[in-house]
Amino acid sequence: MPGPVAGQWPGQVTGRGRGPVAPCRHIVLDELSAGAVERLDADTAAYINASGLAKASPMGMGLYRIEPAGTVGSVRTPTVQLEVRPKGRLGLNGLLFLLGYAGDQGFRDESVAAVEHTDLWSALAESLAQLADRALSRGVLQGYLMVEESLRTVKGRIRISDQISRRPGMLVPLEVSYDEFTEDIAENRILRAALERMSQVPRVRPEVLSRLRQLKGKLDAVTRLQSGAPLPSWRPSRMNARYQTALRLAELILRNASAEAGDGKQQSASFVVDMAKVFEDFVGTALREAMAAFPGEMRLRYNALLNEAVHDSDRIVVQPGAVHFLGGRPVMVYDAKYQAAADAGASLSGDHYRMLAYCTSLRVPTAWIIYPGAGEIKLRRILNTDIDIVEFPLDLSRPPSEILAQVADLAQQSWGEVLRQASIDRSAG
């Protein structure tokens, strides 16, 4: 089968009896790209600018220069799909793994099971349809929900404080609370919201859109989540085991994707991710988990004082990504840096200045900079000091299990450095 025509959206939608729908141009940029010049309508340009994915600057004659804005993801409108892809061959599965891991250390690639597609939206839509279908295959999950009502008879327990404050001196109605076995639980609310959001994405293939709507129909009795409201909390359990993979993807969609209908029911959608924050959150969480195998305690985003107090002057606070403590004393400092700049060397020197400040303020002899890449580990001894700064690459193009193995190796090596330094200190003493 021939591949998609350049400039067309893969899997072009056709209208029954009306021939093909006007093609949606597919624009792909690398996050380090200098941008591209494309013809856009004013509404699409405004939506791209509002999304935060890229900056669309008018050049006249309907042409716009589109430049990445420091994030990755995809924006889809009725006429254009713009994708900004992360560096380092990081695919959708890898991106979703990094996004999910910081919130759930059990999150692995099989938890996402993203269908491989040439565009992010098709992969997300089909993955959600597959996982939701699997979750609902044995019926809609039920569970206990705490309900508060005003009733004329006792059911459950009487809420004494509410009864006194709301109905002083009255015997009925009674303010009661009770547990009800129902489908209207957090798991179903989250799944319904994600199915509804993906159903609003323009140009989802008809058969996938039909599946999403059918699955949402099974959850129509469930309370609809309000737009912008925090997601309800849920806990993994034996009862909701069949839902868990679908819920993890659903939460990622709800936290990172938006879909809306404009004038004339013209739909637009965006999925925008700040890779610097994602990388730093992932490294901190994974490193803390790996360092749990060794003595001590790791603290993330630790506030350290840089300068001594002089009279009433303010203290300068620095915040390393992670600091490992042993016996209440800092012994190792780490910082994750997502080098997205075209000139990595310029920002690298700034990173080393920061690490030197961390080591000095914490009296730690070795600091580790973790950055995405497939290079070699590099140690730099800072002139006129006893401080070492180690650059540790993390290859994000590898499968999730191998990425975590790299983090475990970082933990092992850094702990070995702690032991080595302790041996030196004992010898000196």
Instruction: For each of the domains in the chain, give its residue range(s) and CATH number, in order of start.
Output: 8-90 (no CATH), 92-142+183-262 (no CATH), 143-182 (no CATH), 276-428 (3.90.1570)
105 pLDDT above the threshold of 60: no
Q: For 152-198, what is each residue's pLDDT tens digit? A: 677 767 776 776 777 787 777 877 676 777 899 999 999 999 999 99
Of 22-26, 106-110, 140-144, 288-292, minimum mean pLDDT range: 106-110
Q: Do 321 and 301 contact (CB within 8 A), yes or no?
A: yes
Of 41-50, 85-94, 354-363, 401-410, minimum mean pLDDT range: 85-94
Decide which of 196 and 10 is more confident.
196
Res. 358 pLDDT band, cuts 50 70 90: confident
